[in-house]
Amino acid sequence: MARYLLIEIDDNDKAEAFMESMKAGKSFVTVPNGPEAREYTVVEIQARTVGLFGKPTKFCECPDQDQRAAASKGAKYGWRVCPKCNLALSGFHEPKNLLDPEGTPPAEKPFYLMARGLGPR
């Protein structure tokens, strides 16, 4: 079985550095030796990065809730954005996979994400 692992990194610069290290296709993890975990073994894992999605950190606070009906999908990240303030709306999103080359047909995209409940914490 293969698995997808979706992680969240709050700092954009650290996230970019992590992605650069993953582009090589190899990463290292530490695995505890035994239940007491006093010693660890470094293990190399083979991994492919198939998705990179932006997460908004600033959200629309416009008082007019009717703006949701006029929201559009942002071209850069794929977030639903308010037409007045151009900030992301909280709620359901289909963020763009930032690793997909421009113009990739949907059927040829290796990974697709739908996110519900994106919003300020």
Question: Residue 10 sits in which domain range?
Answer: 1-49
pLDDT in the model for residue 67: 64
31 shares a domain with 5: yes
Per-residue pLDDT of the chain (121 residues; tens, 9 = 90+): 456 667 778 888 887 777 777 777 667 778 888 888 788 888 877 777 777 888 888 888 888 766 667 788 888 888 888 888 888 888 877 888 887 777 777 777 766 677 666 666 5
pLDDT in the model for residue 110: 67
pLDDT in the model for residue 1: 40
Task: Give me the number of domains the chain comprises.
Answer: 2
Kindly report the pTM of this predicted structure: 0.62
Q: What gap in Å lies between CA 46 and CA 65, rounded to an integer?
A: 46
Report residue 70: phi and psi, to 5°: -95, 5
As given in the structure block, the two tokens for residue 78 are 């794929």
Q: What gap in Å lies between CA 2 and CA 5, rounded to an integer?
A: 10
114 shares a domain with 56: yes
Element (H, E) at 30: strand 26-32
71 shares a domain with 33: no
22 shares a domain with 80: no
